[in-house]
Amino acid sequence: MNDSVSNSSNTNLLARAQKVLPGGVNSNVRLAVRDRFIVRGSGPRVWDLEGNEYIDYLLGQGPNFLGHANPEILSAVNAAMQDGMLFGAQNPLEVEAAERVLDAIQWAEQLRFNVTGTEAAQAALRIARAHTGKGKYIRFQGHYHGWLDNVLTSTKLGFGSPISLGQPMSALSGCLVLPWNDLDAVSKAINADPDIAAIITEPMMVNSGAIVPDTGFLEGLREICTEEKIVLIFDEVITGFRLSRGGAAQRFGVSPDLATYGKAIAGGFPVAAIAGSEKLLHKVGTGEINHSGTFNGYAIGSAATIAAMKILGRPNIYANLETLGTTLMEGMNGLAVKHGAPLHIQGLPMAFHLSFGSDEKIRNYEDLVKQNEASYKRFVAVIRESNIWITDRGIWYLSMAHTQEDVKETLERFDNALSKMNFEL
């Protein structure tokens, strides 16, 4: 076996991958790009096995919010590594990391660290069930809360239904799927079923469509949950530290009872967290509600979190990102007009969604699926050949590492890609 990846052709490496990894990948999210091997990232750019350079708007599905191989993150991690990684006891770094995260989000009193957002979502639902003594939860169509059996569900409205072989129907018996941005549907569901322990929601529907909540929707959820003694959970795995330093809760001015964080929290390192009030988390601390994990609060992840929180606390960085993302979105719209492309763009400057089709506002998943998905997938293939790295789901992420020059170059490549498309939809 040739140990040098740089000397392996893309085709040979794909064959090797498919021999030892099911489908050639370690996450099914990457099945669509199983033939692409990225060997290096720096700032807002990545390089593939063949040496092609891409401007990156996928950011590893979101975690690289500070850019690839951020030197301050790497320096902090390298320093922490010299003293070890796991001790079977507490480490000062995890305490400081928790203090800095709580200082950033402001609304919560305590948190527990995890490694993945999926784990954090499971912990949040468990805490909600323990706190209320109830068993079911409400979630929304098109949202994502991890890949485990009790949260991975189809987009059909009503009781959750499996989408994977081996996923038992019984695991979703406590899951109710409702349309996003519809307070009437939420009220009706709660009135019909007294066993609702929690409402879990992406506070901005970034996983599908970059859909901002309607005015009053999050406020309405907060009011309903308070009145009905239901635990309101914000899944901020994507939105946390991205939409603002305090995440979606700060940006939209609504505080949940519990929230989960991940992706941007540690500058690309695998760290997640669940945050909430001391009252809700108290029984986690007594051991009555089990929350465990060998790597929870591990030293290098905590060091990365501390470094990330320091960077994200600097003046004007979010304002600069807003300006940069707005420039990119407006430039894309202008180029779409130039080429007669039926481009629909919506979201926020740091996380927005592109599709082709109707330009009417997309408010929920049902609106989103009316767009021409096939046309956008064709465009993704073209724009990758123009050396822009994106996902075919339509989401574009900006990082703190992107610059005006990157945006200018992106628009030039975007222009080139649009010129190669036929938009007779």
Question: 411 and 344: one domain?
Answer: yes
Q: Is residue 28 part of a domain?
A: no
Q: How high is the pLDDT of residue 10?
A: 84
Domain count, the chain: 2
Q: Which of 54, 57, 137, 235 is catalytic?
A: 235
Question: 225 and 367: one domain?
Answer: no
Question: 351 and 237: one domain?
Answer: no
For the domain that residue 396 is a member of, what is the CATH number? Answer: 3.90.1150.10
Question: 139 and 202: one domain?
Answer: yes
Q: Is residue 409 part of a domain?
A: yes
Question: 243 and 221: one domain?
Answer: yes
Dihedral angle computed from the Cα positions of residues 383, 266, 153 and 254, in that order, rounded to the nearest 10 degrees: -100
Task: Decide if 159 contacts 199 (C-beta within 8 A).
Answer: no
Q: How high is the pLDDT of residue 101?
A: 98
Task: Decide if 115 contacts 146 (C-beta within 8 A).
Answer: no
Question: 155 and 248: one domain?
Answer: yes
Report, as an integer, the average pLDDT of 179-185. Answer: 98
Other residues' Cβ atoms within 10 Å of the Cβ of residue 290: 10
Residue of higher predicted confidence among 424 and 100: 100
What Rg do the C-alpha atoms of the chain give, in angstroms?
Answer: 22
Query: What are the CA-CA distances from residue 318 to residues 187, 197, 307, 315 (Å)?
Result: 36, 35, 17, 8
Q: Which of 137, 144, 318, 397 is catalytic?
A: 144
Report, as an integer, the average pLDDT of 356-367. Answer: 94
Residue of higher predicted confidence among 88 and 2: 88
4 has pLDDT over 70: no
245 has pLDDT over 50: yes
Q: Residue 79: which pLDDT band, with cuts at 50, 70 and 90?
A: very high
Question: 219 and 98: one domain?
Answer: yes
77 has pLDDT over 50: yes
Question: 244 and 295: one domain?
Answer: yes
Report, as an integer, the average pLDDT of 287-305. Answer: 98
Q: Which of 261, 263, 318, 365 is catalytic?
A: 263
Question: 49 and 134: one domain?
Answer: no
Q: Residue 424: which pLDDT band, with cuts at 50, 70 and 90?
A: low
Task: Provide the β-strand partners of residue 346.
Answer: 353
Report, as an integer, the average pLDDT of 76-91. Answer: 96
379 has pLDDT over 90: yes
Question: 65 and 145: one domain?
Answer: no
Q: How high is the pLDDT of residue 3?
A: 45
The whole-model pTM stands at 0.96
Q: How high is the pLDDT of residue 8?
A: 57
Share of the chain above pLDDT 90, in %: 95
**Mapping DSSP to helix (H, G, I), strand (E, B) and coil, where does residue 105 land?**
helix
Q: What is the mean pLDDT of the chain?
A: 95
Say if residue 302 is exposed, middle or buried (CB neighbours under 10 Å; 0-12, 13-18, 19+): buried
412 has pLDDT over 90: yes
415 is catalytic: no
Hey, what are 24's tokens? 């050639």
Q: Is residue 30 part of a domain?
A: no
Query: What are the CA-CA distances from residue 306 to residues 73, 100, 101, 150, 291 (Å)?
Result: 9, 7, 8, 32, 22
For the domain that residue 258 is a member of, what is the CATH number? Answer: 3.40.640.10
C-alpha–C-alpha distance, residues 345 and 43, integer Å: 25
Q: Which domain holds residue 147?
A: 71-312
Task: Decide if 65 contacts 263 (C-beta within 8 A).
Answer: yes
7 has pLDDT over 50: no
Last residue of one domain, picked from the residues 288, 312, 336 = 312
Dihedral angle computed from the Cα positions of residues 37, 40, 44 and 50, in that order, rounded to the nearest 10 degrees: -50
Q: Residue 114: which pLDDT band, with cuts at 50, 70 and 90?
A: very high
C-alpha–C-alpha distance, residues 404 and 387, integer Å: 17
At residue 165, what is the residue type?
Answer: L
168 has pLDDT over 50: yes
Q: How high is the pLDDT of residue 422?
A: 84
263 is catalytic: yes
**Mapping DSSP to helix (H, G, I), strand (E, B) and coil, where does residue 27 land?**
coil
Q: Is residue 268 part of a domain?
A: yes
